[in-house]
Structure 1
Amino acid sequence: MIENKHCADLTQLERPNMDALRGAIGYALRRAQLSAFEDLIHALEEVDLRPAYFSVLYVISENPGLNQSEISTALGIQRTNFVTMVDNLEKQGLIVRQPAKRDRRSHALHLTPKGIAVFNRARDLHTEHEARLIEKLGPNGREQLLPLLWRIADE
């Protein structure tokens, strides 16, 4: 009997009580975000992109010619961090900066032919990633979850 109690104590030590945290919205969001990003990071490895870089390419693809400031604001990325991202994407040959038509002091961003090819493959990988998440959520899960998340995200 003593051995069993000792084993039970070890099991309890190995699995701490997480009930209070599991009931916290912020904690659940963070754990879900970590899980989702781990899957997305793995998916995008094939095209050597991180999720934030994929988001930048996505916005540029949908809005060619936006300037750096417009894209960084839309994605909620600090301008100083965004400049580094743009530099890296340009070095990889995925985007080009061109003088903006509205303001020649700023740069309009466009995908290069290589950028289009990488983005198209990344978008396919992202679609597969989304399908895995939707499968985890079950029927109507996506339709229920997204409005709730955007309600929290709205400022």
Structure 2
Amino acid sequence: MVAEKKGGVSGINYGVLNELAGFRLRRAQLVAYGFSSEGFSSFGITPGLFGVLEIVRKNPGLTQTAVGQALGSDRSAMVSAIDKLEKRNLIKRSHTGFDRRSYALYLTCDGEEFVAKAEKSFRESNSDFLSVLSFEECELLFDFLERLTRVE
């Protein structure tokens, strides 16, 4: 017997996968990424790089390590991300003063302008993705997701 589709490929029995939160979250993430990929690609940026820019925009002066921790990225991924953003003149590194190996991050003027323009597009994509939910359902979804990020 073939299981109900439930967001997967029609005719595929997903078995226990449909009962696993991680599987369902991943499927939803793929759909969300599909909605936002056009917007991200039109700005020549990935969701991860935009995440770095937004964290730095809202928290100027954070170290690379702190930004990486906020986004759940490892050190090597952060170095690569910062290098890419720096080459595009969207972000700049400054020595922290207390540790020569540590850099504080700031958006450049170009970075501020870029994020302001990109944010509008990304908000629209997010709104399109969430349009199948009511306002109250969106609030519940974000509450549930927040709680799940705190599970240890």
**After TM superposition, what 4+ stretches of structure 1 lie above 2 angstroms from structure 2?**
16-24, 101-105
Structure 2 residue corresponding to 1:59, chosen from 39, 55, 72: 55
In 2, Cα distance between equivalents of 1:110 and 1:116: 9
In 1, Cα distance between equivalents of 2:97 and 2:107: 17
Structure 1: stretches of 5+ with no match in the other structure: 1-13
Identity of aligned residues (%): 34
What TM-score, normalized to structure 2?
0.85
Residue in structure 1 matched with residue 113 of structure 2 by the alignment: 117
Structure 1 or 2, whichever has the larger Rg, is 1
8 Å contact kept, 2:56–2:105: yes
Structure 2 residue corresponding to 1:108, chosen from 96, 104, 117: 104
Query: Pairwise CA RMSD of aligned residues?
Result: 1.7
Structure 1 residue corresponding to 2:80, chosen from 84, 92, 98: 84
8 Å contact kept, 1:94–1:113: yes
Residue in structure 1 matched with residue 124 of structure 2 by the alignment: 128
What TM-score, normalized to structure 1?
0.83
Q: Which amino acid aligns with 1:29?
A: L
Q: Which amino acid aligns with 1:153?
A: T
Aligned residues: 142
In 1, Cα distance between equivalents of 2:78 and 2:130: 30
Residue in structure 2 matched with residue 8 of structure 1 by the alignment: none
Higher helix share: 1
